């Protein structure tokens, strides 16, 4: 079962998912690794500064 199906609501905005709506899965590190579902284009992450996106390989 997908995270979206379990969750029913968006982790970012709290709105309910509608049938057939596109969703994304996001990894949240909250002491443990959790996967949360969000609407496509929504994010639980705060806006990143451009420089941080390039540091993945560190
Ligand atoms: Zn949302």
Please give the model's pTM, rounded to 2 decimal places. Answer: 0.64
> Which residues share a beta bridge with 23?
39
Please, which residues have CB within 8 angstroms of residue 2's CB and are 6 or more apart in sequence? 23, 25, 37
Say what the pLDDT of residue 5 is. 63
The residue among 39 and 1 whose pLDDT is bigger is 39
For residue 24, the CA-to-ligand 1 centroid distance in Å is 10
For residue 15, the CA-to-ligand 1 centroid distance in Å is 6
Say what the pLDDT of residue 3 is. 65
Instruction: Provide the 10 A C-beta neighbour count for residue 38.
Output: 24
For residue 21, the CA-to-ligand 1 centroid distance in Å is 11
Q: 2-49 pLDDT, tens per residue?
A: 666 678 899 999 999 998 999 999 998 889 998 999 999 999 877 667
Say what the pLDDT of residue 17 is. 92
């Amino acid at each position: 079962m997908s995270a979206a199906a379990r969750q029913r609501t968006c982790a970012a905005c709290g709105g309910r998912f509608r049938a057939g709506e596109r969703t994304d899965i996001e990894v949240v590190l909250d002491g443990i690794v959790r996967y949360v579902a969000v609407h496509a284009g929504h994010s639980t992450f705060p806006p990143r500064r451009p420089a941080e996106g390039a540091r993945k390989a560190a």
